[in-house]
Amino acid sequence: MGRYKSVLMAEKDAREFPHHVEFPIPPLGLGKRLDVIAAWLDTNIGPDWRSHSHFAKGEHTASYMFRTEDVADRFRSALGSQNELAQL
């Protein structure tokens, strides 16, 4: 997919999934943690989420998008709790 199409898809996803959870991406990337996050989301949320990344102010940021605030809060809570997602 070309850059322009990916920008359009990110904009479309942002409209359809208005509740976002963002966090900085470490300098060496997320690596295998992406698999952990995706597995947690698929197990606990299901397929109804999207993710994109962006670069602003010298920092790469991961953005996970959800349709409802409740689901976004569950993911945000999992990132901050004492489980494997908290290792990010």
CATH number at residue 40: 3.30.70
Residue 3 pLDDT level (bands cut at 50, 70, 90): low
* 2, two tokens: 């070309």
What domain range includes position 43? 3-87
How far apart (Å, rounded) are the C-alpha atoms in residues 73 and 26? 22
- Counting the structural domains of the chain, the total is 1
pLDDT of residue 10: 87
Contact indicator for 78, 41 with CB cutoff of 8 Å: no
Tens of pLDDT, residues 28-82: 999 998 999 999 999 999 999 999 998 988 999 999 999 999 999 999 999 887 5
Nearest of 75, 70, 74 to residue 36 by alpha carbon? 75
pTM for the full model?
0.82
Residue 25 pLDDT level (bands cut at 50, 70, 90): very high
* 8, two tokens: 């359009």
